[in-house]
Chain A
């Protein structure tokens, strides 16, 4: 527990110290401004997503440390300017505007939650500054807010989108697990689950597999036995469940109770939460596989090097937020090099056409037609003991 009285004393000192530091910083930055390239980060540093936001910040800081240690870009150091969105989309347009108009940043990184990133889109279009969203998977993030069939020319992302995940799930089940007859069980009230189930079905049937059953459930369901008993009767070779970890935890627990735990179960990235082990128990998770953005034992040397660097720097474990923020910053720095300057239009074109940049999770190429990374492999992982472990990288 936190010792309240002593932390209060510290608080009373923190504010004056911060004020002094901030004053000194403005003086210093003012004089050093000529030799730095400013990148603005709008992350949730307080509020509901603060814990994730901190990992994004760590990842970005680490990338900038690496870039500056290697001599910076175009002979200049990168300087990060952070603004807190307080995990609230209402604040996003204001902080983005402030970063561009007052801090004069040349490009931006952020936000984390898709709905908050979407709120930044109109300002980026109005003020014409390029930005990369490190971890927002919703398709609309990089789309024109006024017409979602068109791209927002100024917004890009560093992670995969849901359709890619559905495709990868199908590839993995068909090619690696070699299962051809599967049943689906998903939440009919969630766009995420419904969408992934749809993308899975399209790909899986195209590969030659058969969907032998499709069962659904609404939000807050806890008893999945009726659906599971029915699925058991269909004798599927695998069960596909693109649901959140709380539903999947109970589904897997009840599969164990129904003697179905030998059937492989395929989930998506929202299955990747330590709490699923608590809900289902390790016995129930032996045949669970799921797609995810990042696991820390990815055997790729680049991923290993990143994980080690991160642990040394922050004495904690990295996650997808840290990794993709790191990658987004590396991509941005490469784009500045290619553009040979920081004019917004040149930088935008450079990001759009970035090719084969080596980043921790693989090789990064931006798809100019979609503003998403092109053909970036997705990790499939499973549960091991109290944690998660790498299974393989699957191409979409």
Chain B
């Protein structure tokens, strides 16, 4: 029983990271109907901006992390305003935006390799590794920050989208961009805010990974891929779907490795993903889309 509960916690804590990143894929897909493959690289960027600021030794690491979240949000917004928007106004096919986002992600990752080298980098260990015992489960302090922090951010996002005017405009744009524009909603502003939020969430995930593990320029690739799958599993476009998908992927891979075989840790989660999508192609929370004739 102790082992089961420990694995449950392990799955929830890694699932929180996937959920934070997955929600960014979903938000952007909602407003622009394309998969932003540069999203994973924002995660890497966020992790490295904090490191870059911390290396100047002017501000404490906690402040560097805060700054990194905001700066990554702005970077994400900038990619939209300077790149995707220009393609959008020219009515470029969505495939072009997708390819462009892969380009941006390669650019960011290679810039990090050039500046920092491809080696592993370690965050200052500001939190102790000695775990807190909760019944039979051992929880390191960084995991509490990770799980609680992720939940707070998710609730904040839910509140923002459902209870504020800007949030509602994002919701409206993801329902029907042309109609919201006709209703007087500033579509460009709503899209910019969406990218900012997605960037902040991804950077937060990057920072939490840095605190829990270590950072390297390939970070965004692996976490991005799993989180993207989480968003698809939950139903892309649905915010609660991204959360559920993130936790599900985290739990599936943890229990898969713990109870089936660690040789297939990554494969087990993806096999189940394929199975779910076979029976419910639009994902768990996804709305079945019917092609209009």
Whether B213 sits at the interface, judged by CB under 8 Å, is yes
Whether B125 sits at the interface, judged by CB under 8 Å, is yes
Q: Total A-B residue pairs with C-beta atoms closer than 8 Å?
A: 85
Closest to A281 in B: B125
B263→A188 contact, CB < 8 A? yes
Closest to A223 in B: B14
The number of chain B residues touching the other chain, given as a range, is: 35 or more
Residues in A with CB closer than 8 Å to B244 are: none
Other-chain residue from B6, B120, B263 in contact with A229 (beta carbon distance below 8 A): B6
Whether A208 sits at the interface, judged by CB under 8 Å, is no
- Distance of A101 Cα from B11 Cα, bound (Å): 63
Other-chain residue from A188, A215, A279 in contact with B122 (beta carbon distance below 8 A): A279
CB distance from A257 to the nearest CB of B (A): 4
CB distance from A374 to the nearest CB of B (A): 37
B257→A230 contact, CB < 8 A? yes
A257→B213 contact, CB < 8 A? no
Residues in B with CB closer than 8 Å to A281 are: 125, 129
- Distance of A216 Cα from B260 Cα, bound (Å): 12
Residues in B with CB closer than 8 Å to A278 are: 122
CB distance from A312 to the nearest CB of B (A): 32
B262→A258 contact, CB < 8 A? no
Whether A275 sits at the interface, judged by CB under 8 Å, is yes
Residues in A with CB closer than 8 Å to B259 are: 230
- Distance of A217 Cα from B258 Cα, bound (Å): 12
User: Interface code B1-44, partner A: CB below 8 Å = 1, 0 otherwise?
Assistant: 00100110011011000000000000000000000000000000
Whether B271 sits at the interface, judged by CB under 8 Å, is no
B262→A226 contact, CB < 8 A? yes
Residues in B with CB closer than 8 Å to A258 are: 6, 131, 138
Whether A283 sits at the interface, judged by CB under 8 Å, is yes
Known: A215-B262, A256-B130, A275-B122. A226 touches B253 (CB 8 A): yes
Chain A: interface secondary structure? Answer: helix
A259→B214 contact, CB < 8 A? no
Which interface residue of A226, A250, A253, A275 has the most chain B CB atoms within 10 A?
A: A226
Other-chain residue from B129, B216, B218, B254 in contact with A256 (beta carbon distance below 8 A): B129
CB distance from A44 to the nearest CB of B (A): 17
Closest to B6 in A: A229
Interface residues in A364-391 by Cβ distance below 8 A to B read none
- Distance of A3 Cα from B218 Cα, bound (Å): 33
Other-chain residue from B120, B129, B214, B257 in contact with A226 (beta carbon distance below 8 A): B257
Interface residues in A221-241 by Cβ distance below 8 A to B read 221-223, 225-227, 229-230, 232-233
Whether B222 sits at the interface, judged by CB under 8 Å, is yes
A284→B129 contact, CB < 8 A? yes
CB distance from A130 to the nearest CB of B (A): 37
B257→A227 contact, CB < 8 A? yes
Whether A69 sits at the interface, judged by CB under 8 Å, is no
Whether B265 sits at the interface, judged by CB under 8 Å, is yes
Known: A218-B266, A250-B213, A259-B138. A226 touches B254 (CB 8 A): yes
Whether A166 sits at the interface, judged by CB under 8 Å, is no
Whether B209 sits at the interface, judged by CB under 8 Å, is yes
Closest to A284 in B: B129
CB distance from B259 to the nearest CB of A (A): 8
Whether A246 sits at the interface, judged by CB under 8 Å, is yes
A229→B129 contact, CB < 8 A? no
Closest to A234 in B: B3
A283→B129 contact, CB < 8 A? yes
User: Interface code B214-257, partner A: CB below 8 Å = 1, 0 otherwise?
Assistant: 10101000100000000000000000000000000000011111
Whether B140 sits at the interface, judged by CB under 8 Å, is yes
Closest to A260 in B: B138
Known: A218-B266, A249-B214. A232 touches B3 (CB 8 A): yes
User: Interface code A311-346, partner B: CB below 8 Å = 1, 0 otherwise?
Assistant: 000000000000000000000000000000000000
Q: Can you list the 8 inter-chain pairs with the closest CB atoms, starting with the nearest?
A: A226-B257, A257-B140, A222-B213, A225-B10, A256-B129, A226-B254, A233-B3, A215-B262
User: 20 new A-B pairs (CB below 8 Å) besides A223-B10, A226-B257?
Assistant: A216-B262, A216-B263, A217-B262, A217-B265, A221-B265, A225-B10, A226-B11, A226-B254, A227-B265, A229-B7, A232-B3, A232-B6, A246-B214, A256-B129, A256-B131, A258-B131, A259-B131, A281-B125, A283-B130, A284-B129
B contact set with A: CB distance below 8 Å: 3, 6-7, 10-11, 13-14, 120, 122, 125, 129-131, 133, 138, 140, 143, 209, 212-214, 216, 218, 222, 253-259, 262-263, 265-266
